[in-house]
Structure 1
C-alpha cells in the first residue's frame, strides 16, 4: 500500500473511531431518532443531485438503507442515549463481523472455516464478560441494543455482497434517501412533537457541528476514502484496518469523555479484539503453518 493510501486508511480509522464520541456529544442536545433523521437528510441532500445513482435494483437500495442506515443507527443511537458508553459501543458494534459471518453462511451458503469459529467463540466470551459487567457505567438495554445494531450492520453487509460490485459512495448517498422519513416517524412516536420542536429551536452550535461531522466527515468522506481503498487493493489487505476502529473509539472516549473500563470490561475488550484478529488473520496463519509443515 502506498504511503498516500496508508494515510487515507489511517484517516478513515481515526474518523470512524472518533465518530462514537461525536454521537454521544450530539445526543446531549438532540434526541436519538431526530439525530438520525438529520444525519441522513444531510447525507442525501444535496448529494443525490450530483452523485450518480448506483446501477442496482431499487429493492437492493431499499434493503441497504433499511439495514445499515436505518436499522443499525436507530438501534445504536438509542443504545447510546440509554446508557451505552461511546468507547464500549465502538467495541461491541464490531460483533458485526461475526453477524456477517453467520448471515452469509445461512443466507448465501458461504463456508465457515475453523479460524472463523474460533474467533467467534473467543469474541463471544469477551462480549459475555462485558455484558455480565454491565453495571459498570453501562446499561443492559444499551448493550443489547448495540448488539442489535451489529446484527443490522451484518445483514447489510450480506445484502451488499448480493448486490455485486457497486460504487460505495453512490450506494451510501442514494440509500440515505430511505432513513429520514422513518427516523422522523420514530421521533414523533418516541420523542414527541414537543421535544422535536424544543430541540430544533434551541439547537446549539455543538449539536450542529456533531450532525455535520456525522453526515459529511464520518459518512461521506469516510466511505469515499474506504471505497477507493477497496477499489485499489484486495479486501483482505484493507479490512484489517477496521480492527483499529474500536481502539481509537476506546482511547478517544477515555480522553474526551473521561470514560473508563473496569478491569473485567478491559478483559472482555481484549477477548473481543483477540477474536476479531483470529477471524481476520487465522486463515492466513493456518495456511502458512500448513505450507511450512510440508
Structure 2
C-alpha cells in the first residue's frame, strides 16, 4: 500500500464495520479453515473442495444482491453437489484410505469457500468508493489481528518458525507475496468490473493447477473417482454461471476513484470510458 504512493481515502464508520467483517471472513476464517483442513486431507482433494465457492457465491448473490437464479443455474448447483458427494465417498488419493479424519478435514475445509463467498459479495459495495489496493490492505490487516493471539494457543510456535530451513522460508515468501498479497489485489480488481458470480468463475482454475501441482510436486496420484468427482463439480459450477442471460448481459464497470485532493475534500469519481 505504501509502495503505491496513493493517498489514503477517509473511511466512514459503516465502511470500517464492513472491512472488519470481510477481514474476518476472507482472512481469518478462510485461512484457518484452509490451514487446518489441508493438513487433514490431500492437496488434490482440497483443491476440489474449493471449487464449491462459485456455488455459494451464486446463492448468496441471489439473496443479498438479487442476482437471477435460473433453472440452469439450479441444475448446475445440484450437479456440483453430486460431484462433491462422489469426492467425499470415493475420492481418496491412490493408495490412501478414506477415513474419518479425511471427512473431518473436508468439513473444516468447506468453511473456506463458504466464507470466501460472503467475503466476495460483501466486498463489492466498498469498491464503489475505494481502490482495490486499499480494500485489500485494510481487510487483510483487520483479518490478521486475530492471528496475533496464536502464541497463546501454540507456545512453541516461534520455535518452529525459527527452525524453518531455506525451502521452508521460500515457500512462506511465495505464499505471502503471490497467493496472499497479489492474489487479494487481483481478486478485487476483477471484482470491481465483474459481478460476484462472474468473478468466482475463476475459482475453476484451482483444481486444474491443484491436481497438476499435487501430482508433480507432492507425488499424489489421483484416483479415477477423484477425477470423476472433480469433473462433475467443474461441470456443475460452470453450468451455474454460463446461462444465456449471463453471456448476453453487459457488465457495467465500477467508476474509478481518484485520490483525494490536497487540503481535503471528497475524492472524484470518474465514469469508465
TM bucket, shorter chain? 0.7 to 0.9
Q: How does 1:9-28 map to 2 (within 5 A)?
A: none
Q: How does 1:199-214 map to 2 (within 5 A)?
A: 199-214=160-175
2:71 to 95, 114, 121: 114
Bigger share in helix: 1
Cα 1:53–1:275 change in 2 (3 A) is farther
The answer as to 2:104 corresponding to 1:146 is no
Cα 1:206–1:179 change in 2 (3 A) is farther
Whole-angstrom distance in 1 between the partners of 2:66 and 2:241: 19
**Aligned residue for 1:62?**
20
After the TM superposition, which segments of 4 or more aligned residues of structure 1 sit over 6 Å from their partners? 46-51, 285-288
**Gap regions ≥5 residues in structure 2:** 250-273
TM-score, L = length of structure 1: 0.70
Greater relative contact order structure (CA < 8 Å, 6+ sep):
1
Cα 1:225–1:148 change in 2 (3 A) is closer
* The structure with more radius of gyration: 2
1:155 to 118, 122, 126: 118
**Gap regions ≥5 residues in structure 1:** 1-43, 289-294
Q: Any idea what SS the aligned residue of 2:142 has?
A: coil
Whole-angstrom distance in 2 between the partners of 1:84 and 1:131: 11
TM-score, L = length of structure 2: 0.75
- Count of residue correspondences: 239
Q: Any idea what SS the aligned residue of 2:69 has?
A: coil
The answer as to 2:141 corresponding to 1:177 is yes
**Aligned residue for 1:126?**
83
Whole-angstrom distance in 2 between the partners of 1:276 and 1:287: 19
Aligned alpha-carbon RMSD (Å): 3.0
